[in-house]
Structure 1
Amino acid sequence: MSLWAVTFLEYWKRTCSTLSHRWDFLSFPEQECPRPEFSAMAPMTTRNPITGAEEPYFPENKRFRRTVTGCMVIIIMVAVVLMFLIAIILYRTIISVVIYKTVRTNSFFGISAVTIASLSGSVLNLLVILMLSKIYTTLADILTRWEMHRTQTKYEDMFILKVFIFQFVNFYSTPVYIAFFKGRFVGYPGMYKTLFGIRNEDCGVGGCLIDLAQELLIIMVGKQIINNIEEFVSPKVKVWWQRNKMHPLLTNKAQTMMNVSPWEADYDLLVCEGLFGEYLEMVLQFGFITIFVAACPLAPLFALMNNWVEIRLDAQKFVTQYRRPVVERAQNIGIWFPILQFITHIAVISNAFLIAFTSSFVPRLYYRYTRNNTLSGFVNFTLSTAPESYIQQHHNISCDHLPEFYELLVIRLSCVIIFEHVVFFIHRLIDLIVPDIPEDVELKMKREHYMAKQALAENKVQHLLFELYFL
């Protein structure tokens, strides 16, 4: 999956160059006009050194201070996410203990107490994530407007970056905790470690990968279902409300469509607010299916099913519920592509650590080649033991690592380094071998450039002949 992610980005660069050439966006103008909101709210004007025209101006030192303030708000919101994460951890621990003590006479409920607490905690975590996403998206829009960015591209890039940083922590903090931190700080009998007086939670019998897969499926699939329902129901309700508000006497939709012209009917629809939500949803989904795919191989399948439904819901929404959007020129997808590259690099490193440290893949190989090829006695090999004589002689029991622990640690770190170096080497090799612009597109560009130069030369010759004729 890591190789697919890096290959996907290379394929997208080629597709982007093909589309840019087809739609004649390769010669996109470098100079961009100021935003209307910036022009209206800028406190002063200054002369543009390139065009020489007077343009609205906002002092850079004030913008820098506002940007730093926005970064502080992002840090505060990230801290809020981490506080909710700690609250969810404490909730799971307390609920599992309460359920176990309440129904400990029933063996079934006693065994599934941790599972019930984990499932309810995952659902509660999903609701908290969606609530914080709505709040912060509105806050990020207000902060970006307050920062007074000159161009629309810069405004959109800063807004997208703010939202992505928060959403990255918001959606992936719990899976990262389960994958790399849960069960690492439990302690041992007589010396258990606690958080606010409550014993730290441990992984289930099947290991942390089972808990991680469960958390991923609940967050990713739950988010997809809620978003699809919202995209299907919310526009219809808004359009119905807007039509009743604008035409209170015409309650029949067919009657309304017959009495007004098509452009008036289009005006009754919702205003298209752009594709930011669609891009953000796909980027977050890309992170789910690449960063944690080693723990949940079914994630790409659920993503494929969601995208099949998403395409049809979006088509119905944009055609029947929204006004025809205003066309805007764009040379590429902007800051979204560097974000995808960042997610790809994180995915390679994350999967390397998942395979080496979270799963039992490396310990099994180590035991197979050093102890027993049939893995007989592997479970006992993974458990900690203390000799009876040592326990009798020492009242304060402490655990010391055996040499095998350090050997395994070295092997695991070696696996991480080898894995990520191999993937990044293949990525670099593909980048060098496969050109960003397809060969047929490059030939068309060269042909168009040659034809333009030839037409310019013929025009100059005709202009000279015209001057000589009249002279």
Structure 2
Amino acid sequence: MSVWSVTFLEYWKRYNATLSYRWDCLEFTEIEEPPRPEFTALAPLTILNPITKMEEPYFPKTRQLRRVLAGSMVIVLMIAIVIIFLISVILYRIIIFLVVVKSGMIYSSASLITSVSSSVLSLIITLILSRIYVSLAHFLTQWEMHRTETQYEDAFTFKVFIFEFVNYYSTPIYIAFLKGRFLGYPGNETTIFRYRNENCKPGGCLIELAQQMLIIMVGKQVLNNIKEFLFPKLELCWHRMTLSSNKDQKNEQINPWERDYQMITYKGLFDEYLEMVIQFGFITIFVAACPLAPLFALLNNWIEVRLDAKKFACEYRRPVATRAQDIGIWMSILEAITSIAVIGNAFLVAFTSDILPRAYYQYKMNGNLTGYINFTLANAPEVYAKDHSPCRYQGFRDSEGNLSFDFWVLMVIRLAFVIVFEHVVFFLGRMIDFLVPDVPESVEIKLKRERFLAKQALAENEFLAWTLDTECVIERTSPDMEHEGSNLSIVVSNED
């Protein structure tokens, strides 16, 4: 999946270059994009544009930088709120698990109830915080006074994605990399508000991570599809009711253009982009824990394509075409997710799964896995065993609670695997990037042909202008000098 994500982005760059050439948007951002109307109305100063030589509205860079920094502090505050809710969900898991177990339910059922209920709670909190933050991000980005629509969209997109990344991925990251890591050992246990820190199931955290992913990812997709199916219909009905001012107009035959006008206005593609990017993160960063995630994403996208087609054809007005050079900062976000996915999957395989401990034990026992469970269990310290019944726990520690030699050997193997895996995948990514050019050869040839024709036309126009603006006067020398030869005098005058 890590190699696929790199390949996917490379071929998207090629398709993007093809569309940009076909729609004549290759240099739109740098040359042609005008200032935003809101920026023009609110900018306090004007400045001479060095390219167009025209007066344009201007907002000082220092003031804008201060506003960006202030907005960043708000983002940090919202991220802190998400982390607080994450800790609350962790405490909820610990308390609910203790309550269910004390009620007489067996351990496996109590663990399943705790995992599912906490996942649903996390999904509800995530959706509520997401709604609040999007409105706040709109206000902050408007306040920062970005000049062009591209700059505004990039700033808004970056703010929303940073928050959504923490909002949606914080719980899976906790389960994958933090849960069960700081338990201590019998007699010296780590607690949170006097509650013992939660541990993974005996089979590890991958199963719970897969459950969490499916509930958050699939639940979000189902809710979004229901919203995209119902909300446009309800909004369209309400819009048509408000436009129908009297009963006579309802009974009259409505012209097609009037019927089109009664449709609702489309609000843009931001939500569609955000949904796809969040989905891309789920199926690449945590795919080692849930290999079925790409299948669910594919099924969701098949359904959503049909819902969007119905929505565009029957419920929304035709959107006003807006030129853009590319997908903007979304491409940088996808590349960042790809890099995070490589590192995340390396740590998942190395530290969360038991692939490397199994391989290490199998190497020690000459290919035999007999006794592997016993190898992963440690005896409780002698001080603890005096006052309690004999017990064993998962961990590589000796009878005194100190980390064993096998723990350090496995730590070296895990870190070595992460380094090797990351270097190999990034090397393959660079090779794919090198072998697959960003611009297809056919488009590159057309661009070179256009540049050649443009230079040729410019040269011909310059020569024609020089010929029309140049007056050549040829005078013969005086008649009394004819016998000495036909000397010619050429007078050239350039007239403006």
TM-score tier (shorter): over 0.9
Which of 409, 416, 419 aligns to 1:417? It is 419
Greater Rg over alpha carbons, structure: 2
The separation in 1 between residues aligned to 2:462 and 2:98, in whole angstroms, is 88
1:374-385 to structure 2, matched below 5 A, reads: 374-385=368-379
Residue-by-residue CA offset, 1:2-56 (whole Å, 9 max, x unaligned): 0001111111111111111122222425243211011111223233233332222
Question: Structure 1's 399 and 228: CA in aligned 2 closer, same or farther, altered over 3 A?
Answer: same
Which of 26-35 and 153-162 deviates more?
26-35
Which of 52-61 and 235-244 deviates more?
52-61
Which of 190, 195, 199 aligns to 1:193? It is 190
The separation in 2 between residues aligned to 1:333 and 1:189, in whole angstroms, is 54
Match of 2:212 in 1: 215
Residue-by-residue CA offset, 1:340-380 (whole Å, 9 max, x unaligned): 00000000000000000100000000000112522100001
Paired residue secondary structure (2:134): helix
Shift of 1:153: 0.9
The separation in 2 between residues aligned to 1:144 and 1:450, in whole angstroms, is 42
Task: Kindly indicate whether the alpha-carbon contact (under 8 Å) linking 2:206 and 2:352 is maintained by their aligned counterparts in 1.
Answer: yes
Shift of 1:307: 0.4
The separation in 1 between residues aligned to 2:385 and 2:99, in whole angstroms, is 32
Give the residue type in structure 2 aligned to 1:127: I
Superposition RMSD in Å: 2.2
Match of 2:141 in 1: 144
The separation in 1 between residues aligned to 2:49 and 2:144, in whole angstroms, is 20
Task: Kindly indicate whether the alpha-carbon contact (under 8 Å) linking 1:2 and 1:347 is maintained by their aligned counterparts in 2.
Answer: yes
- Is 1:175 the counterpart of 2:177? The answer is no
Shift of 1:204: 1.3
- Is 1:90 the counterpart of 2:91? The answer is yes
The separation in 2 between residues aligned to 1:48 and 1:465, in whole angstroms, is 34
Match of 2:200 in 1: 203
The separation in 1 between residues aligned to 2:248 and 2:310, in whole angstroms, is 22
Residue-by-residue CA offset, 1:76-108 (whole Å, 9 max, x unaligned): 11011111111111111111111111124xxxx
The separation in 2 between residues aligned to 1:163 and 1:187, in whole angstroms, is 37
Paired residue secondary structure (1:297): coil
Task: Kindly indicate whether the alpha-carbon contact (under 8 Å) linking 2:381 and 2:401 is maintained by their aligned counterparts in 1.
Answer: no
Give the residue type in structure 1 aligned to 2:374: N
Gaps spanning 5+ residues in structure 1: where? none
Give the residue type in structure 2 aligned to 1:288: F
Task: Kindly indicate whether the alpha-carbon contact (under 8 Å) linking 1:244 and 1:251 is maintained by their aligned counterparts in 2.
Answer: no
- Is 1:54 the counterpart of 2:55? The answer is yes
Give the residue type in structure 2 aligned to 1:158: A
Question: Structure 1's 470 and 391: CA in aligned 2 closer, same or farther, altered over 3 A?
Answer: same
Which of 430, 433, 440 aligns to 1:428? It is 430
Aligned residues: 461
Shift of 1:432: 1.7
The separation in 1 between residues aligned to 2:98 and 2:240, in whole angstroms, is 54
Match of 2:36 in 1: 35
Task: Kindly indicate whether the alpha-carbon contact (under 8 Å) linking 1:103 and 1:110 is maintained by their aligned counterparts in 2.
Answer: no
Shift of 1:389: 9.9
Task: Kindly indicate whether the alpha-carbon contact (under 8 Å) linking 1:2 and 1:344 is maintained by their aligned counterparts in 2.
Answer: yes
The separation in 2 between residues aligned to 1:358 and 1:68, in whole angstroms, is 37
- Is 1:262 the counterpart of 2:285? The answer is no
Shift of 1:247: 0.8
Match of 2:296 in 1: 302
The separation in 1 between residues aligned to 2:188 and 2:181, in whole angstroms, is 14
Question: Structure 1's 452 and 52: CA in aligned 2 closer, same or farther, altered over 3 A?
Answer: closer
The separation in 1 between residues aligned to 2:134 and 2:310, in whole angstroms, is 25
- Is 1:24 the counterpart of 2:18? The answer is no
Residue-by-residue CA offset, 1:223-275 (whole Å, 9 max, x unaligned): 000000000100111111111112143599xx57x633333322222221110
Which of 290-299 and 57-66 deviates more?
57-66
Task: Kindly indicate whether the alpha-carbon contact (under 8 Å) linking 1:349 and 1:416 is maintained by their aligned counterparts in 2.
Answer: yes
Calculate the TM-score normalised by the size of structure 1: 0.93
Give the residue type in structure 2 aligned to 1:64: L
1:241-280 to structure 2, matched below 5 A, reads: 241-250=238-247, 259-280=253-274
Match of 2:130 in 1: 133
Calculate the TM-score normalised by the size of structure 2: 0.88
Shift of 1:458: 4.2
Task: Kindly indicate whether the alpha-carbon contact (under 8 Å) linking 1:294 and 1:355 is maintained by their aligned counterparts in 2.
Answer: yes
Which of 340, 343, 349 aligns to 1:346? It is 340
Paired residue secondary structure (2:411): helix
Paired residue secondary structure (1:384): strand
